[in-house]
Amino acid sequence: MSLTLYGIPNCDTVKKARTWLADNGIDFTFHDFKKQPLAHDTVAAWLTDAHWDVLVNRKGTTWRKLDEAARAAVVDADSALALMLAQPSVIKRPVLAGAGPLQVGFSAERYGALFAPGA
């Protein structure tokens, strides 16, 4: 199984996820989407596994800095995809791909269940 954790390194929640994975001996690749742009196909695939409203972080600074028209324009998966590609910081972090269903955000309990023996 090839795991990729997507996020930005200075995000506290991403730091917690990276630490949890490392402390539990789980190999993963970290994709810093500030330095490595996200591919259209990658984000489109996420949207088949998670609802766009889960992936768009409406509580974050990037969302709040968007003008009202830009926020109002995000009404479906296609508009969310365009926004996430243009402004990756609007994506709720971290995103963990390759461990079954897409994981958005971090919870030690959820990761523990995901990686439990026999899971």
Domains and CATH numbers, the chain: 4-114 (3.40.30.10)
Read off φ and ψ for residue 105, nearest 5 degrees.
85, 180
6 is catalytic: no
How far apart CA 111 and CA 119 sit, in angstroms, is 11
Per-residue pLDDT, 1: 60
Per-residue pLDDT, 119: 55
pTM of the full predicted structure?
0.92
How far apart CA 51 and CA 54 sit, in angstroms, is 5
- Which listed residue (3, 4, 11, 62) is catalytic? 11
Per-residue pLDDT, 117: 73
Per-residue pLDDT, 118: 61
How far apart CA 55 and CA 104 sit, in angstroms, is 7
* Weakly modelled stretches of the chain, pLDDT under 70: 1, 118-119
